[in-house]
Amino acid sequence: MYTLSSKLKLFSIILMAVGLIGLAIGFIVAPSTIEEVKEMVASHDGHGESHAAPGQIKSDLSEDPDQGLEFVPSEHEVQTGRTDDNQTQLGTNVDDHENEHYEHILHQLQNKPWAALYVAAFFFFMIPLGVLVFYAIQWASQSGWSPVLFRVMEGITSYLLPGGVIIFVLLVLSGLHLNHLFIWMDPEVVENDAIIRNKSGYLNVPFFLIRAAIYIAGWAIFRHFLVKNSNRLDEAEPNDLYYFKKNFKLAAGFLVFFIVTESMMSWDWIMSLDPHWFSTLFGWYVFASMFVSGITMIALVSIYLKSRGFLPFVNDSHIHDLAKFMFGISIFWTYLWFSQFMLIWYSNIPEEVTYFVSRIEDYGILFFGMVVLNFLFPVLLLMNSDFKRVNWFVVMTGLVILLGHYIDIYVMVMPATVGESWFIGLSEISSLLFFGGLFIFVVFTSLTKAPLLARRNPFIKESEHFHY
């Protein structure tokens, strides 16, 4: 039986407290009027220059042939979706135009703490979801190596419900117009935008919230019964496999339910932030991100518990297998990232390519940096078979992968919500700390609720002696 050390408890509470304070400051500091924005821009002298009104990008570029070094030919840079509202107003006088520019920045800055909260909430929510998928796959495939890790996975998935509720609350707050994360929720925008109007059969607040509730409730219910049956199996008679068979079917059912809901979830919660844009493999792409983060978290928590002496039955071969999954799914993620990017880059259709134009222009370092973190690091560090058995190596790579996938979510959400006004500052780090603390607290508390070895699982003997 695992006992939560008071140090870890204190640590997670401190993280949550510091995160909350930081978040509160982030919300207070966000400007509420155009005058404040003007002051802020004026105080960053010279900085405002690079953030010139989006409507002016055209002239800037034609003066500067060096811009041709961007990935995308410069004539396409004019047509970014974010400048739509400005371009329709180009005929008006300079003052109006400037005010509109500041209003644009005001909206972005007001979105910033919300978006930071949303990114971190989603990032920590997708980890237990990825773990739950991995867990269900282990049941459905009747794996012989992983049952010793079942309780670790069950512990991590305990964050699914609280994390899901937080996401849902954030979505409800968006639906109540407390923020402008989802522009299609703004009736004024919908009225003036035929593209969004045509999608309003799917993208409307009540249906959106109902769907979100179905996803979260569905996943949480499946998780609840999978874990419950797994615990009941421990109490069962030695040859009674009733709960094992039940979980096998339940896991298979969950995987079917998941792949449908996950795909829709990614359209709803992330792709709809850019309601003018769509991509068919987006669901898979988000899935790869959550899957690899989840597996990485299993490895990290297992290594932590093992180092504290709570998992004597977990050997290097188990860690080796997890590291292989981290390696393989990292490559899978890169494959999807590249497929999505390259297909759109290659055909360069204006209505699709704006998505990447805004990301490469404003988020270049993050957009390409995350490929280094999520692909190059794992590939080079985890390719060697011996390295996959060295625990600190796996931990180090795991932290890089988690950071990379945080940035991945960041780059999915931020360009649509705060645009070029992004900065990884107080709000972003605070929300990471807050959700990190909550995650640690929930997960490790739930790990104390059941013995760390699933005794009666029919594969447990094989798993304990697993050797690669």
Partner 1 sequence: MASKVIHAIYTDDDLLLQAVKQVREARYHIGEIYTPFPVHGLDKAMGLAPTRLAITSFMYGVVGFTVAVVMMNYMMIEDWPMDIGGKPSFSFLQNMPAFVPIMFELTVFFAAHLMVITFFLRSKLWPFKAAENPDVRTTDDHFLMEIEVANHNTKDLTDFLYQTGASEIKLIDNK
Contact footprint for partner 1 (CB under 8 A): 68-69, 71, 73, 338, 341-342, 345-346, 348, 383, 385
Cα 72 from Cα 360, distance rounded (Å) = 9
The pair of three-digit structure tokens given for residue 31, joined into one six-digit string: 């400007």
The pair of three-digit structure tokens given for residue 434, joined into one six-digit string: 């807050």
Closer residue to partner 1 in complex, CB, 90/372: 372
Cα 72 from Cα 36, distance rounded (Å) = 35
Q: How far is the CB of 76 from partner 1 (least distance, A)?
A: 10
The pair of three-digit structure tokens given for residue 440, joined into one six-digit string: 């640690």
Q: How far is the CB of 342 from partner 1 (least distance, A)?
A: 5
Judged by DSSP in three states, 465 sits in: coil
Alpha carbons within 13 A on the beta-carbon side of 124: 27
Closer residue to partner 1 in complex, CB, 24/383: 383
Q: How far is the CB of 338 from partner 1 (least distance, A)?
A: 7
Closer residue to partner 1 in complex, CB, 169/342: 342
Q: How far is the CB of 407 from partner 1 (least distance, A)?
A: 20
Closest CA to 327 of 394, 391, 386, 410: 394
Q: How far is the CB of 376 from partner 1 (least distance, A)?
A: 13
Q: Where are the alpha helices (DSSP H) in 418-465?
A: 426-447, 460-464
Q: Where are the alpha helices (DSSP H) in 239-315?
A: 242-265, 282-307
Cα 77 from Cα 287, distance rounded (Å) = 30
Cα 391 from Cα 395, distance rounded (Å) = 6
Closer residue to partner 1 in complex, CB, 346/392: 346
Cα 75 from Cα 395, distance rounded (Å) = 45
Phi-psi region of 3 (alpha: psi -120 to 50; beta: other; left: phi over 0): beta
Closer residue to partner 1 in complex, CB, 7/467: 467
Q: How far is the CB of 281 from partner 1 (least distance, A)?
A: 16
Closest CA to 23 of 440, 442, 439, 435: 435
Closer residue to partner 1 in complex, CB, 32/384: 384
Q: How far is the CB of 345 from partner 1 (least distance, A)?
A: 5
Closer residue to partner 1 in complex, CB, 208/356: 356
Closer residue to partner 1 in complex, CB, 207/338: 338
The pair of three-digit structure tokens given for residue 140, joined into one six-digit string: 């459905």
> How large is the C-alpha radius of gyration of the chain?
24
Closer residue to partner 1 in complex, CB, 213/281: 281
The pair of three-digit structure tokens given for residue 226, joined into one six-digit string: 């999978």
Helix pair 282-307, 316-347: axis angle to 10 deg: 160
Cα 388 from Cα 411, distance rounded (Å) = 29
